Homo-oligomer: A and B are copies of this chain.
Amino acid sequence: MNISVPKGFRLAVAAAAFKKTGRNDLALALSDFPAASAGVFTRNLFKAAPVLVGQETLKARMSARAVLINSGQANACTGPEGFRRCEQSRTLAGAAFGIDPADILPASTGVIGMQLNMEAFSRATPSLAQNIGQAGIEDFAAAIMTTDAFPKFCGESLDFAGKKVLLAGVAKGAGMICPNMATMLSAVFCDAEVQTPDWRAMFKRAVDLSFNRVSVDDDTSTNDTLYGLANGASGVRVAGPDLERLEEALVRVLKDLAYKLVQDGEGASKVLHIQVRGASGAADAELAARTVGRSQLVKTAMYGKDANWGRVICALGRSGASFNPDEVSFTFCGVELFSQGRPTDSDFDSLLKEALEKRDLTLDISLGRGSGEYLLLASDLGHEYVSLNADYRS
């Protein structure tokens, strides 16, 4: 899959050896023009230095010129010195590319508690500058990976009165597996011209419909960051009613990336699509979906290819969502397992035999209450997850 780099963006990757040598672990996306900027960050109280710097930058400026991401060191729990090193990294990159350091949005992922290796950073910056424009979207996505099994990227092309607008997105890391390698990072580049308040507002909504609706291990890292730049290089100004189409495309990009995160969720073999309907409100629907999606018992049952309806009802019953148990029904991969508070007598083991072999499993739950809905994507929990997370440091 070849995704075009949106107009007016140039990408570069380099091997700085923050953790391992011989692989690219530093990536920069440069916009030739000031780009409307957006950012969404972790809500964890322990925030990495680049998260704090990124938040400040977005508060102070409506536009930015670059996104700078390193993998291998998270620069989290590094105190004032970590903050300084993050600023130094922007200064170095700013000098190499001839742009204002305050126009660079930084993000890091990797080992936490360790100071950023500035020597590695300084050494790699010149090659980053030399290679600018030579990297593609996939190279960028690969350079920000940590334990990811594959690079995650996608693109959208929109036509506005015969003129093309491109969006391209990258993401890394489903599981929150700090302090070693951590974090969900993502960046979206777009060549439309959009007013910053519109761009930021659509990011907030789009994240809520995508990244906020996936769960691998229900953790939130010190470094989770999503950046968006829209630089206007396509010559297409998107405003008014056209914004909706751009936002729909952005949602598709983020949903695609979010799906890939779950698909690659720390040894995940299944993607469980949990749709809750009929809740008394959206909050209750989310509560029910999240409790099912993070239930270790549901997750191990999916891994074991077991249509274990009892684990689903147990999770629903303790979720805190309000409903009458006698009005709860659900289908699993299209087969009704539970109806009005009772298991159905269907021979579901044989009916589901084939469906359970597939990667994508659907669970449609009706709480029989109101009109509250929520869709959550969750990964399963298997031996690979345990191995990856238990044996990680050894």
Contact = CB atoms under 8 A, between A and B. Distances in A.
Interface of A: 43-47, 76-79, 112-113, 175-180, 182, 217-222, 295-297, 300-301, 303-304, 306, 308-311, 313-318, 323, 325, 338, 341-343, 381-383, 385-387, 389-394
Count the copies. Answer: 2
A178 B310 contact: yes
Contact of A77 (B77, B304, B313): B313
A189 B118 CA distance: 66
Given A77-B310, A179-B309, A45 B392 contact: no
Given A45-B325, A77-B341, A385-B300, A314 B219 contact: yes
A338 to B, nearest CB: 8
B219 A296 contact: yes
Contact of A296 (B220, B313, B341, B381): B381
27 contacts: A44-B318, A45-B316, A45-B317, A45-B318, A46-B325, A76-B310, A77-B310, A77-B341, A113-B310, A113-B342, A175-B297, A178-B310, A178-B311, A179-B343, A180-B310, A182-B310, A182-B314, A217-B295, A219-B314, A220-B317, A222-B313, A222-B317, A296-B389, A300-B390, A303-B386, A304-B393, A306-B392
Given A178-B314, A219-B296, A303-B386, 10 more contacts: A77-B310, A113-B310, A113-B343, A175-B297, A177-B311, A222-B313, A222-B317, A304-B391, A306-B390, A382-B390
B44 A317 contact: yes
B314 A222 contact: yes
A219 B298 CA distance: 11
Of A43, A178, A296, A382, chain B has the most CB atoms within 10 Å of the CB of: A296
Given A219-B297, A296-B296, A296-B389, A77 B178 contact: no
Contacts of A222: 310, 313-314, 317
A300 B112 contact: no
Given A381-B296, A383-B383, A310 B342 contact: no
A152 B212 CA distance: 42
A296 B218 contact: yes
A43 B387 CA distance: 34
A212 B78 CA distance: 36
A212 to B, nearest CB: 13
Which residue, A45, A182, A394, has most C-beta atoms of chain B within 10 A?
A45
